[in-house]
Structure 1
Amino acid sequence: MKHDGQRPGKSSDAAMPTRRSFIQAGLGVGGAFTVVFGLPQIARYAQRHTQDAASTEVDIPPFIPNAVVQIDRDGHVSLTISQVEMGQGTYTSMPMLIAEELEIELSTITVKHAPPGDTLFGNALIGEQVTGGSTSVRAFYDPLRKVGATVREMLIAAAAKGWNVDAASCHAENGTVVHSPTMRKVGYGELIQIAASIPPPADVKLKMPSEFKLIGKAAKRLDTPEKLNGSAVYGIDVKLSGLKVATVSACPVLGGRLASVDPKNALAVRGVRQIVQLDNAVAVVADHMAAAKKGLAALSIIWEAGPNEATGIADIVAQLAVASETPGAVAVQRGDVAAALDSAATRVDAVYQMPFLSHAPMEPINCTVHVQEDSCEVWVGTQVVSRAQAAAAEASGLPLEKVTVHNHLVGGGFGRRLDVDSIHQAVQFAKQVAGPVKFIWTREEDIQHDIFRPYYYDRLSAGLDQSGVPLAFHHKVTGSSIIARWEPFKFKNGIDNDAVEGGSGPYDFANVLVDYVRHEPPAGLTTGWWRGVGFTHNAFIVECFIDELATTAGQDPVSYRRNLLKKDTRALAVLDLVAEKSGWGTPLPSGSGRGISIFNGFGMYMAQVAEVSVSTNGAVKVKRVTCALDAGTIINPDTVNAQVQGGVIFGLTAALYGEITIKNGKVEQSNFDTYRMLRINEAPLIDVNIIQSNESPGGMGEPGTSGIAPAVVNAIFAATGKRLRKLPIDSSLLAQGA
């Protein structure tokens, strides 16, 4: 991937600029006091990436801004950040970090969407402008607090200068600077002129946790009012003068092409203005969506199916099964697994499978584009703003600087909007249309032409000693590589680090091997990130297999895990808390059971217990889910609760119903009737228990999703004695007599 702001030359970490050089201040547009700050990690990433990709070295730019803070004359603060708001609470938690150190009310901050630029607005944990992987707070916790503290100290210095007093005799309080001896006060807005002339301090003191006024306290979300009153603007809400609306149809056979299209009947539909086509898709441009849909239905289209016309899901799985028998690239290896398996008193082997999954966010894929001779303007909700700009530039044939991207609120991302296929397609279509046009994929198009979560086919083996303790643990992951497609320079030595992440769980086995076999599905079926990334896959497989080992050893699943986690105090704490809060070990009615899972990832620990009942016909009802988590320092506990609850519902939906299947090269699911969502009456009681901690903040967008499927499957075994090794849950296998 191209990274802007790079220059040829030599550099090293030892030559990195000091922190002072990463903060600059002055009067910006409209006379506002503007402070920009940067992250050295982004510069280091740019350097490493260029060296890896092109075997050249680069100078670290002298200043790489990463966020912008402005204070106007009324004392109002605005924050421009790269991280995108898609329901996870970023536009509240990140301003809380600034407000905490700046000593202002949270309600006085406005958050602005950042423009494109990897080095301008990069995420230090990922290395480019990306919202994903539960990294927003983790990446910006210290930097945003530091910039807040820096601005605070500059304003204090400005007030002290105006009063001709020692800055040490002043302090910040509720958007003002107070001279402690005299109790004189001056608002931040009145200080911006003087503050702009003061050099940023080389170092600042951050608050101790005991001094926090906002961090760790429940805060009302800043984006809620506009979402309630309807003024919030998502990508699909964009309105422009002269805007036309289009809807799209791509070849229903994955990898197929457009052979021909007869536009006559579609153009006869009132409101339809134009039919535009690409080599694999067609779009109907109209005055409004209803006309576009009617026009699309009236089109006479002939598709060229291509090589996947006879492909079915059974073919894809059979190929994965064969691939899983081949040697894998070693990702994790300790000890001698083969020897330990040979010497074990008992050996346990299993094959687990997880299906292709669609993201199915509430806001379907959409993109508004206006292509002119020397410019391209895009309005969209995306998790990767800089990639969106690059995709639009490539599709339009214009240089990057001629492409403007306006990012918006995202109505559900879940990893789908980490890809820019739809933006590239929209720009290609828009080149054929005069004026701005909004492309909206129907729900059917969104599901059937999604970038799917990979199908995984994994083999596991473990050897137990006579007391049931694992002597060896082997997990072979087989599936497609998202990393190899999405960020190929990170795919090294045959390993997709995401695919194997958490491949042996939180357990410290003496002899362990995690290896990986890359096997791609047929061309035209593209795989990508899905909420929880590698952990939604590996947490399910590892935690279900650990339960199998506990059963083989004749031990309680919680006690078994406790013995394997003796060295990890944080893991033990969440395990013990969830067992206590869930009533683990207390009696349940016949046909009911509890199941547990635990994992650590995203910088946090989480344990979940699911309580389920299984009817005589095999229907599964998840009654209660108890969660215990240690996510380090919590910014907004309300957000944490909401994220865990939402993640559990998302993951439970997938466990019970989520499956994309292929028949004759076509995705069989098309809308929420065939790609089911969990319904209100099916939702369990969700109890979230947070362990207070001063550790670094962990991520919260995805953990709730990752652990729920294994907890439910383990609970089903407790209730029925039937072990499921494949998702989604097949109730026919659980019916009495099955």
Structure 2
Amino acid sequence: MNLVTSRRSFLQGAAASSAAVLVIGIAPSGLMAATNGADTTMLNPFVKISNDGTVTAIIKHFESGQGPATGLTTLIAEELGISMDAIDYEFAPVNPQLYANTAFGGMTQGTGGSSSMYDSYPQYRLAGAAAREVLLQAASQEWGVPVTQLTIEDGTISGGGNSASLGEFVEAASQLQAPQDPQLKDPSQFKLIGNASVHRKDTPPKVNGTAQYAMDIHHDNQMVVAIKRTPRLGGTVASFDDSGASDINGFIRAAVLPNKAGVAVYADDTWAAFQARDALDVTWDNSAAESRSSDQVFDELMAAVNEAPKYNVSETDQSEVATAIDQANHVVEETFYFPLLAHAPMEPLTCTLEATDDGGVVLYDGCQTPTGPQGAIAQILDLPSEKVQIETMFAGGSFGRRSTSNSDYQSEAAYAFGMTDRSRPVKLVWSREDDITGGFYRPAFAHKVRVGLDANGNIIGWDHRIAGQSIAKGIDVNDAAAPNGIDHASVEGVFPTPYTIPGMFVGLTDIKPATTVSWWRSVGNTHTGYVMESMMDLAAKAAGRDPVAFRLDHLTEDTLEQQRMAAALQMVAEKGNWGNAPEGHAQGIAVHMSFRSYVAEVVEISGDVDNGIKIEKVTCAVDCGLAVNPDVVKAQMQSGIGYGIGHAMRDEITLEDGVVQQSNFSDYEPLRITDIGAIEVHIIPSTEVPTGVGEPGTPPSAPALANAIAVSGPRVTRLPMNKAGVTFA
């Protein structure tokens, strides 16, 4: 584990008000830091303590339901010696120099890749430990008692016959030099980290309605903007007629966006904006627009995987692998197709821009990656970046949608705001239909795999062709985005693989996307995991071996990666009662490593494809390193499982002449609560560094279901499953 620390001392901090505030954090250089006084600068603070004893964790990762507001406060509370009830939290302001995500290379402030805990675990523990030690030092001087005889328990400093709350020593602590290397607690001392009884900090405000989402923002005198967007990628506005909107009560005006990608409609409220937008008559210039339909995209991807790939990902001699497979005793071959998928978060995209007194603006947004929107808004409104503030709100889901390469919806808001005199706040609101028809999508992909087995059922060759729509190359065609032309997000989960697979060739071909494409929950693993685990099942069947035993036979190397993956597989087989399904039930299994975590799942089903499959139970085993908040880990596994299975069952985005055909949950149906009977999650104890949980539950879920269906039904190789003749009860 790489700790972001140093041997430099803390500075001391105070709020601009008369009350002293101790602020602890880590400087951009990696040095421990804090500040004191109204006229000094706070360097990357993570924890604040006021002189009334109020402790606040500054959360640098946004909260869309995945749990950082709880996890990061837990780390500080643990090291500081306070209860979870005694600590509050607030979201960090935009400042990539101070709040960069180290997992993103240390240049970007943002959340994604299931990196929040992996990135912040050392930082927040150090900040909490530093606050503890400087407070103890202040108490030691006040009482004349050695620091070694003092403790902090439940927010009270005690020792040498003395006792006082933290707040009594904040002012004194703010005058001291903080410790160079604060001592972290030994895990044996943990009371909160790993405690299953610690529940989410954000649940009460979400239940009682006090939690503020971007959709909840309402400023006096604000205008609401809805946009009529081009229905085809690359289309632009040729002209528009707003006469049909002029009689709608609350309509203010309509104007073409500077990029000509749509027409912005301004109104006094959301209803009027939507009604007026729908009343517009827009003529589109589609001369450079996308016009392919889904069938054409499918044909292009199928042709690509049946030809020599453009990129040799594995740097293996493909002809040698092909020869070994041709000479094999058994050959298993399948072709897979994965359609476009929408993110479809429950809260449609919304944000508000408002002018500030100093000539800048503030963006109110459930902002996933503040660095991008800050830069985009600054450029559009011709402002210095420091004049663009961001108030991060709760987000009602994301799954990657709120982080795009061009900050699309925040840029729309900036364009709309910039076309006014900037005296009134502008709130941009997307409808559900806007989200489904005009968003970014999980790319479409095809895979073709040939696996050769010898007479003993051992793999001797694996030829894996992948064709799809690159996310990275839509952002920036350079070596950083796609080294040697290979977009890692297109092949992750296949290459590299934790399995030991002799003679493995992996090739990749890119196809031009027909829509905007972007990161979707678990990114490339969503399709590569399905293919790998389907093929491992098919190979096991051809070898006449149990699917669990066959996988374990390819996880026998003495590496931590294989040991952890094998342990997850063994635990889920035990907990899921593998091989002992009740009469009339079938089981499928899958295991996958993504975002540094290992997740194995058993899906148990009843029924049949003709009369309806019922998902009776999903059993999950997860190794995510040290589980800081087991309650959050279990919830995220359940969420990821539901997300993966729900989309595999019946969801796809289809195009007709370049136009998206789905528009709402009536034809892009999310998982229903009745779709899965039960989900049981088991966390593997670990002392390894905490790793991701927001996404790793998704990749094994769909292939485990597919493997269960294939026990007595078809092998589903083209998703969604309902288009392959599978019905669900």
TM-score, structure 2 normalization: 0.91
SS in 2 for 1:671: coil
The reply on whether 1:219 has 2:205 as its aligned counterpart is no
Counterpart for residue 446 of structure 2: 457
Alignment of 1:396-545 (within 5 A): 396-419=381-404, 420-434=407-421, 435-486=424-475, 489-504=480-495, 505-522=497-514, 525-545=515-535
| Deviation string, structure 1 residues 686-729 (Cα, Å, up to 9, x no partner) | 01111211121121101111110100111110132x21111110
Counterpart for residue 317 of structure 1: 298
Q: Aligned pair in 2 of structure 1 residues 17, 34: CA closer, same or farther (>3 Å)?
A: closer
Whole-angstrom distance in 2 between the partners of 1:404 and 1:166: 45
Q: Would you say the 8 A contact 2:325–2:452 is kept in 1?
A: yes
Counterpart for residue 574 of structure 2: 580
The reply on whether 1:208 has 2:186 as its aligned counterpart is yes
Counterpart for residue 146 of structure 1: 126
Shift of residue 334, structure 1, vs aligned partner: 6.4
Q: Aligned pair in 2 of structure 1 residues 457, 303: CA closer, same or farther (>3 Å)?
A: same
Whole-angstrom distance in 1 between the partners of 2:613 and 2:391: 45
The reply on whether 1:164 has 2:144 as its aligned counterpart is yes
SS in 2 for 1:724: coil
SS in 2 for 1:704: coil
Whole-angstrom distance in 1 between the partners of 2:502 and 2:596: 23
Whole-angstrom distance in 2 between the partners of 1:23 and 1:345: 67
- Which among 322, 329, 332 is matched to residue 314 of structure 2? 332
Counterpart for residue 701 of structure 1: 694
The structure carrying a bigger helix percent of its residues is: 1
Whole-angstrom distance in 2 between the partners of 1:125 and 1:732: 39
Matched to 1:542, the amino acid is: M
Q: Aligned pair in 2 of structure 1 residues 454, 688: CA closer, same or farther (>3 Å)?
A: same
Matched to 1:297, the amino acid is: D
Counterpart for residue 296 of structure 1: 277
**When the two structures are aligned, how many residues end up with a matched partner?**
696
Counterpart for residue 263 of structure 1: 242
Whole-angstrom distance in 2 between the partners of 1:253 and 1:397: 29
The reply on whether 1:600 has 2:593 as its aligned counterpart is yes
Shift of residue 253, structure 1, vs aligned partner: 2.4
Shift of residue 547, structure 1, vs aligned partner: 0.8
| Deviation string, structure 1 residues 143-193 (Cα, Å, up to 9, x no partner) | 1111111111111111111122322222222212222xx331122111112
SS in 2 for 1:225: helix
Counterpart for residue 116 of structure 1: 94
- Which among 186, 210, 216 is matched to residue 231 of structure 1? 210
Whole-angstrom distance in 1 between the partners of 2:29 and 2:316: 34
**Greater mean deviation of Cα atoms: 357-366 or 315-324:** 315-324
Counterpart for residue 154 of structure 2: 174
Alignment of 1:35-50 (within 5 A): 35-38=24-27
Q: Would you say the 8 A contact 2:9–2:179 is kept in 1?
A: no
Q: Would you say the 8 A contact 1:613–1:716 is kept in 2?
A: no
| Deviation string, structure 1 residues 303-333 (Cα, Å, up to 9, x no partner) | 2233446420111122222333233323335
Matched to 2:303, the amino acid is: V
**Greater mean deviation of Cα atoms: 510-519 or 633-642:** 510-519
Q: CA RMSD in A?
A: 2.4
Matched to 1:506, the amino acid is: P
Whole-angstrom distance in 2 between the partners of 1:17 and 1:558: 40
Matched to 2:428, the amino acid is: F
Matched to 1:74, the amino acid is: D
Counterpart for residue 541 of structure 2: 551
Counterpart for residue 724 of structure 1: 716
Matched to 2:601, the amino acid is: Q
Unaligned runs of 5+ in 2: 33-40
The reply on whether 1:681 has 2:668 as its aligned counterpart is no
Counterpart for residue 6 of structure 2: 19
Shift of residue 562, structure 1, vs aligned partner: 1.7
SS in 1 for 2:23: strand
Counterpart for residue 383 of structure 1: 368
Whole-angstrom distance in 2 between the partners of 1:478 and 1:334: 18
Whole-angstrom distance in 2 between the partners of 1:374 and 1:730: 54
Whole-angstrom distance in 2 between the partners of 1:471 and 1:160: 68
Whole-angstrom distance in 1 between the partners of 2:43 and 2:471: 30
| Deviation string, structure 1 residues 637-667 (Cα, Å, up to 9, x no partner) | 1111111111111111111112011002100
Whole-angstrom distance in 2 between the partners of 1:166 and 1:66: 30
Whole-angstrom distance in 2 between the partners of 1:428 and 1:192: 45
Whole-angstrom distance in 2 between the partners of 1:695 and 1:689: 17
Matched to 2:87, the amino acid is: I
Matched to 1:558, the amino acid is: V
Shift of residue 29, structure 1, vs aligned partner: 3.0
Whole-angstrom distance in 1 between the partners of 2:531 and 2:4: 45
- Which among 682, 685, 702 is matched to residue 692 of structure 1? 685
Shift of residue 271, structure 1, vs aligned partner: 1.1
The reply on whether 1:253 has 2:232 as its aligned counterpart is yes
Whole-angstrom distance in 2 between the partners of 1:149 and 1:42: 15
Counterpart for residue 652 of structure 2: 659
Whole-angstrom distance in 2 between the partners of 1:354 and 1:366: 29
Matched to 1:577, the amino acid is: M
SS in 2 for 1:147: helix
Shift of residue 295, structure 1, vs aligned partner: 1.3
Q: Would you say the 8 A contact 2:76–2:124 is kept in 1?
A: yes
Counterpart for residue 357 of structure 1: 341
Counterpart for residue 129 of structure 1: 109
Shift of residue 344, structure 1, vs aligned partner: 2.7
SS in 2 for 1:178: strand
Counterpart for residue 13 of structure 1: none
Whole-angstrom distance in 2 between the partners of 1:309 and 1:695: 48
Matched to 1:144, the amino acid is: Y
Shift of residue 511, structure 1, vs aligned partner: 2.5
Whole-angstrom distance in 2 between the partners of 1:461 and 1:682: 33
**Greater mean deviation of Cα atoms: 579-588 or 710-719:** 579-588
Shift of residue 251, structure 1, vs aligned partner: 1.4
Unaligned runs of 5+ in 1: 1-15, 44-62
Counterpart for residue 35 of structure 2: none
Q: Aligned pair in 2 of structure 1 residues 500, 163: CA closer, same or farther (>3 Å)?
A: same
Shift of residue 38, structure 1, vs aligned partner: 3.6
| Deviation string, structure 1 residues 591-639 (Cα, Å, up to 9, x no partner) | x421110011222211101112343626332121111112221111111
Q: Aligned pair in 2 of structure 1 residues 309, 529: CA closer, same or farther (>3 Å)?
A: closer
SS in 1 for 2:485: coil
